[in-house]
Amino acid sequence: MTASPPSADPSVRTSSFCSDGACVGVAIEGDAVRVVDTKSSAALRFTPAEWAAFVAGVKAGEFDLPR
């Protein structure tokens, strides 16, 4: 993961549940995946392998909040 400069790239996708502007967007760029704070435009870059591992963890419930 590396920091990426701010961007107003229209390829950044946000959730349809984002209604107050304080959201996270994702842009897939071939050799990298950018995760963007839509309020400040600050972004983190991940390799496709890092992103795949994160998504697999989400699907497996690794980040679920305790009940």
For residue range 10-60, list pLDDT tens digits in order. Answer: 688 888 888 777 788 999 988 999 999 888 888 999 999 999 999 999 999
Residue 12, in any domain of the structure: yes
Residue 67, in any domain of the structure: no
Single pTM value for the model: 0.70
- The count of structural domains within the chain is 1
Residue 28, in any domain of the structure: yes
Provide the CA 7 distance to its chain's centre, in angstroms: 13
Residue 8, in any domain of the structure: yes
Residues spanned by the domain of 48 = 2-59
Which of the pair, 11 or 4, is modelled with greater confidence? 11
Residue 4 pLDDT > 50? no
Residue 65, in any domain of the structure: no
